[in-house]
Amino acid sequence: MDLVLIRHGQVEAAQGDQFYGGIEVPLSDLGREQARAAARFLRGLRPNGLWCSPLARARFGAECVAQELGLAAPQVLPELCEIDRGRWVGLSKSEVLGAFPGDLEAHEADPHEWRGHGGESLGDLASRINAVWDDFERRPAGLHVVVSHLFPTRCLIGRAVGLEVQQWRELKIPTGSVSYLRRRDAGWERVFAGHEPGEAGFSEVSSRGFPTTES
């Protein structure tokens, strides 16, 4: 089995330095182009499934993939939604520090369990993403494409290679980037993560094992 994970494109600048998590925010012009570039990057592939978050910024990216590859409409999975940021939504980091002293420190101390902001902990996110993972694990061999968000992407990669939630932040997953996980007899491997595609297609990273129509 192969999993290709795409993070949605950049959002409007007004939300760029805010916690927005699982709410709707619009893509910027650059973000829409990033989504199209990610779709072009997959040109020539024949996925067995295309999945996405219900949020519009991820659906747009998945629809770009469907159009580029001639696939049916993506299947929407609510579990792929971005993490719920509770009372932090709409605030910048400095505003959270001022409005809710101690929140960020408490989150840093126990990211797996802390949900004092009224949203989700990283453990909560992992629980719902694990349900998606278990579904993929039951599927026959093939290629599946998932278009979602920063934290679901980090969680899926972490699940594949055995990272704890505290290690997720080490994964650099820019907007519009593509990550590739591969399962073989020895288990899952992260072939690459956070690749930002340009105009060229998958051939630019084929030397790192990205599937081609010939493989």
209 pLDDT above the threshold of 70: no
Cα distance between residue 83 and residue 67, in whole Å: 28
- At residue 138, the pLDDT reads 86
- At residue 21, the pLDDT reads 93
Cα distance between residue 190 and residue 180, in whole Å: 6
Cβ proximity of 60 and 27 under 8 Å = yes
Question: Which range has the top average pLDDT, 39-53, 130-144, 200-214?
Answer: 39-53
User: Can you tell me the mean pLDDT for 166-190?
Assistant: 93
- At residue 5, the pLDDT reads 98
pLDDT tens track for 24-66: 999 999 999 999 999 999 998 999 999 999 999 999 999 999 9
Token representation of residue 36? 């199209």
User: Can you tell me the mean pLDDT for 188-198?
Assistant: 91
What percent of the chain is predicted at pLDDT more than 90? 81
Q: How confident is the model at residue 139 (pLDDT cuts 50, 70, 90)?
A: confident
SS (H, E, C) the chain: CEEEEEECCCECHHHHCEECCCCCCCECHHHHHHHHHHHHHCCCCCCCEEEECCCHHHHHHHHHHHHHHCCCCCEECHHHCCCCCHHHECCEHHHHHHHCCCHHHHHHHCCCCCCCCCCCCHHHHHHHHHHHHHHHHCCCCCEEEEEECHHHHHHHHHHHHCCCHHHHHHCCCCCCCEEEEEEECCEEEEEEEEECCCCCCHHHHHHHCCCCCCC
Q: How confident is the model at residue 214 (pLDDT cuts 50, 70, 90)?
A: very low
- At residue 213, the pLDDT reads 39
- Single out the residue of 142, 177, 138 nearest to residue 157, CA to CA: 177
Cα distance between residue 109 and residue 56, in whole Å: 32
Mean pLDDT of the chain: 91
- At residue 172, the pLDDT reads 96
User: Can you tell me the mean pLDDT for 101-124?
Assistant: 97
- At residue 24, the pLDDT reads 96
User: Can you tell me the mean pLDDT for 112-128?
Assistant: 97
- At residue 95, the pLDDT reads 96
Neighbours of 131 (CB within 10 A): 10
User: Can you tell me the mean pLDDT for 3-7?
Assistant: 97
Q: How confident is the model at residue 212 (pLDDT cuts 50, 70, 90)?
A: very low
- At residue 208, the pLDDT reads 47
- At residue 200, the pLDDT reads 52
Q: Model pTM?
A: 0.92
- Residues annotated as catalytic (active site), given as ranges: 8, 82
Instruction: List the domains of the chain with CATH numbers.
Output: 7-189 (3.40.50.1240)
